[in-house]
Structure 1
């Protein structure tokens, strides 16, 4: 009998060329997991992730699923899989899901976190997990920007140039909805910050471009009321720089309930 197994995955993306399997054979999160899963199931496995993180991006709560005829117990896809995987990829939970569950298409929202440091000198151990933006930073300047970002908009200005065929008229194009945006101190310090974005979907590098634009506003390099004009322009050149990949974490995938048929 075919099963649909759902995995909760965390990973450090520093040494990988992103989530998605690459034809050139570079190390990716998907390919690494599929290799270990195929050993456990004694058959080729295709793993479907809830999103495609870029090279150097991390995840605390990636969801992925795969179909299999294997009768291996769920513990094999948790403890057994972790025993085969490199230590920078961990499966946190394995569950039986409904056969119609899809990690990507069943999701209703995603939350990303962007961490950055504004002190003069960054501790080397944090360089792979926080972007360094030295200088004065005022989070209060972002409140006006947040108000303009929330809701449903065409986010073309916050999309990596050339990442989507603009001639395609099917689907929703660059229209996305942001439900929540915030900036809070990290670890209770004055120079470590976390931006959080929750939305129904994100364009290629959208969170990194949003982060780069908002940080520039907080550092008074761009006007606090600039966001509305950037959205209206619908061109990448209107927005700020793309923030480095190292500060980005896929924090959580949100699903309507119920999505599971049993738990373990």
Structure 2
């Protein structure tokens, strides 16, 4: 194992390193077996802060966190996520499982008196077994409408049940989307790869 690890690390660029090696079950698939955590960030304030604009979606008006949290609870479990995904997704099955869905908020203060105000950064966090093309961005775009009071939180369950992309809101910009973590769940029999 040590010789293989060292040989592979010699060939890899410096930014990649193999720390441990081990056997996996025959049914293991590097991409499909992995759990993923995506977050989408909304910046809320009177102006689009320059240091955040490349990493968040700017919202001028306050968002209703309680309504947003109620909406994302509908996403938990196994569903056909077609309404939130790109119509051009090449996935054979559009059924995915969301294990965790949460909405949180932090206040951001810029040093000095830049803009003379505080900004909020809202975070949509989704953990699941797999995601369709633009699925998280479709959820985020619809969630923004809920947060602004333009759609009720109950719409999320109805949108999922409809199976219709037109029922959901617009796809949010890519700037707020972050793939934050990828790991292999212990129940898959490959706990040695866990962080």
TM range (shorter): 0.7 to 0.9
| 1:182 match | 102
Q: Which consecutive unaligned segments of at least 5 residues does structure 1 have?
A: 6-70, 83-90
Matched, 1:105 2:32: yes
Which residues of 2 match residues 167-178 of structure 1 at below 5 A?
173-178=93-98
Which residues of 2 match residues 97-176 of structure 1 at below 5 A?
97-98=21-22, 100=24, 102-107=29-34, 109-164=35-90, 173-176=93-96
Task: Name the TM-score, length of structure 1 as normaliser.
Answer: 0.60
Q: Which consecutive unaligned segments of at least 5 residues does structure 2 have?
A: 110-118
Number of matched residues? 179
Which segment is superposed worse, 117-126 or 93-102?
93-102
| Pair 1:215–1:4, CA change in 2 (3 A) | farther
| Pair 1:106–1:161, CA change in 2 (3 A) | closer
1:203 deviates by: 0.8
Which residues of 2 match residues 2-17 of structure 1 at below 5 A?
none
Which of the pair has the greater relative contact order for Cα pairs under 8 Å at 6+ separation? Answer: 2
Looking at structure 1, the residues matched to 104 and 4 of structure 2 have their Cα atoms a distance apart, in angstroms, of: 38
Task: Name the TM-score, length of structure 2 as normaliser.
Answer: 0.79
| Pair 1:146–1:260, CA change in 2 (3 A) | closer
| 2:182 match | 253
Alpha-carbon deviations, 1:10-69, whole Å to 9, x = none?
xxxxxxxxxxxxxxxxxxxxxxxxxxxxxxxxxxxxxxxxxxxxxxxxxxxxxxxxxxxx
| Pair 1:255–1:245, CA change in 2 (3 A) | same
